[in-house]
Amino acid sequence: MHNKPPCNWLCLLCALLISGCSQFTTAPSLNSSSILIKNAIIVDGTGGLRSTGAVRIKDQYIVAIGALEALEGEQIIDAGGLVIAPGFIDTHSHHDVGLADNRDALPLLTQGITTSVFGQDGGHSLPLQNLFDDFDANPSAVNFASYVGHNTLREEVMGQNANQQASSAEIAAMQALLKSEMDSGALGLSTGLEYEPGLYSTREEVLTLAKDTAKIGGRYISHMRSEDRFVWDAVDEIINIGRETGMPVQVSHIKLAAKGLWGQSERMLGLLNGARAEGIDITADLYPYEYWQSTIWVLLPNRDADDLEEIKYVLDELTPANGIIFTHFEPDPSYVNKSVAEIALLRGTTEVQTLSNLMKEAQIWSAANDDRSAESIMGRSMSERDIETFAQWPHINISSDGGFQGHPRGYGTFPRIFANYVRGSSVLSVEKAVEAMTSRAALHMGFTDRGIIQPGFKADLVLFDPETMQDHASIRDGQVLSSGVEKVWVNGVLVLDKGEPTGARSGQVLRR
């Protein structure tokens, strides 16, 4: 399932002290400030069956689990029979935007998230050192790590010329910048090949940067070139990167975002399993919604808003007009939360013409304001059946792809898994759902001391009720907190209690 993580100093110490890590009852030096969480159902993150008992934490670490007696002077917390699990690891997050102003990270903690991974879809905060320094000095309530984004490198190196093929000198400059960002402690390289300027890169350019990343010991994560029209080509590209570099590669937010592709999740997993059988370490992450969120332009790879035939194809095959909802529209903010179908009715134009016009209006606004972020949309393109199939793949982990604004996934992803796929369709057990949020996510990100309740691991823990855990954020009302999480510890410190932030901010920057 996963490699046994290396025993760290604490684990060694405890082995010396009492020849075993699960019982600490005779170690007197531990009772000064240890915390005993008793009367819990322990779901340890490995996917194994639950057990009942207690978890002891001290300083930043889990130090014992099982049938434990309280030590003198120890703080005791009665879990009340709720489930205690490793804190959830969100391997694809956009909560970096706004985290500095929301350091209590409430939308994350109320989902049970204790670690977020930023720098996704080819975009990261450059230079990473500044971001890391900021949060080292003034932490948030959650841990985070980051990838280096290919699009960010491209923009930095190519400036105004980024939307074209890169010269060999420009690729060399990207390689140098990649190296210095990796040296700051990034996990690896992320790409967003469906977006400007990454979509102008050749496979060769991406492979060159990927090979450098592999040499440094990094990994690769990708919003692939296509999730609809050209998805099979895109899968071929990432498999090839895994094959050529030998490093772990991960498909971001795996999906089949076109009607004509629905039901082909088995085919997709067949390709990925075939690659794995060949020795390629390919994995994927998944969010549990039929809607995606992105720029409107992902619908049109040729970026031609006058191509009405292509726009008709978009509405017929990719996303219906009543399934395209604006989360942001600078030319007319009153369109936020309206669908293209609703706007067409307001305007008295056909849906095809309306979408074309809206795209052109966004283009004009961007040009006039020198700002590409004129709009963003949610689009309904995925089938529930495929989501269920992907959710059961043994190499999938859960990610939100969410942020503080927009799509409800930023507030509801992890509770929604319990609501819809554990209690609802029952395609996952509590244990398997937790595994996909914890040890498997840690494995996919290269974290060796988080994601399992085991002595020596960092004490990132969530206490919750899988029977009532529920997302409340919806497509038209995306910023509503989830319920069902009772307590959260990050690095041994209680950061959420009875669903409320404690004010403690014990998150750490996780460097490779």
DSSP per-residue string spanning 418-479:
IIIIITTS--S-HHHHHHHHTHHHHHHHT-SSSSS--TTSB--EEEE-TTT-B----SSS--
Nearer to Zn ion, 399 or 438 (CB): 399
Which member of 44, 121, 386, 486 binds Zn ion (CB under 5 A)?
A: 121
Nearer to Zn ion, 121 or 205 (CB): 121
Comparing CB distances to Zn ion, the nearer of 223 and 487 is 223
> 292 or 414: whose CB is closer to Zn ion?
292
Question: Quick one: which segment of 53-61, 117-125, 370-378, 478-486 binds Zn ion (CB under 5 A)?
Answer: 117-125
CB of residue 3 to Zn ion, shortest distance in Å = 28
Shortest Å, Cβ 227 to Zn ion: 9
x-marked contacts with Zn ion along 218-237 as a string, rule CB under 5 A: -----x--------------
Contacts 24+ apart (CB under 8 A), 262-269: 262/382, 262/383, 262/385, 262/386, 263/383, 263/385, 263/386, 264/386, 265/385, 265/386, 265/389, 265/390, 266/389, 268/231, 268/235, 268/390, 269/389, 269/390, 269/393
CB of 487 to Zn ion, least distance (A): 31
Give me the long-range contacts of 362-369 (CB less than 8 A, separation at least 24).
Answer: 362/296, 362/329, 362/330, 362/331, 363/305, 364/331, 365/330, 365/331, 369/330
Count the site residues for Zn ion by CB under 5 A: 2
| 8 A C-beta contact, residue 55 and residue 84 | yes
Residue 172: which residues within 8 A CB-CB, separation 6 or more?
Answer: none
> What's the closest the beta carbon of residue 379 comes to Zn ion, in angstroms?
13
Q: Which stretch binds Zn ion (CB under 5 A): 116-124, 340-348, 352-360, 466-474?
A: 116-124
Kindly tell me which of 229 and 450 has the beta carbon lying closer to Zn ion: 229
Give the nearer residue to Zn ion in terms of CB position, either 121 or 181.
121
- CA pair distance 263, 267, nearest whole angstrom: 9
Site string for Zn ion, 198-217 (x = CB under 5 A): --------------------
Tell me: does residue 194 bind Zn ion (CB under 5 A). Answer: no
**Looking at beta carbons only, is 47 or 122 nearer to Zn ion?**
122
Tell me the residue ranges of DSSP E strands in 119-182: 143-146, 148-149
Tokens 């978009």 belong to residue: 314
Nearer of residues 149 and 492 to Zn ion, judged by Cβ = 149
Beta carbons within 10 angstroms of residue 167's beta carbon: 12
Cβ 457 to Zn ion shortest distance, Å? 30
Q: Which residue is nearest to Zn ion (CB)?
A: 223
Question: From the centroid of its chain, how far is CA 401?
Answer: 5
Instruction: Output 117 or 434, the one with its CB closest to Zn ion.
Output: 117
Residue 154 near Zn ion by CB under 5 A: no
- Write down the least CB distance from residue 157 to Zn ion, Å: 22
We find the least distance from the C-beta atom of residue 340 to Zn ion, in angstroms, to be 21
Residue 416 per-residue DSSP state: H
Q: Which of 98, 81, 198 is nearest to 148 (CA)?
A: 198
Binding positions for Zn ion, rule: CB under 5 A:
121, 223
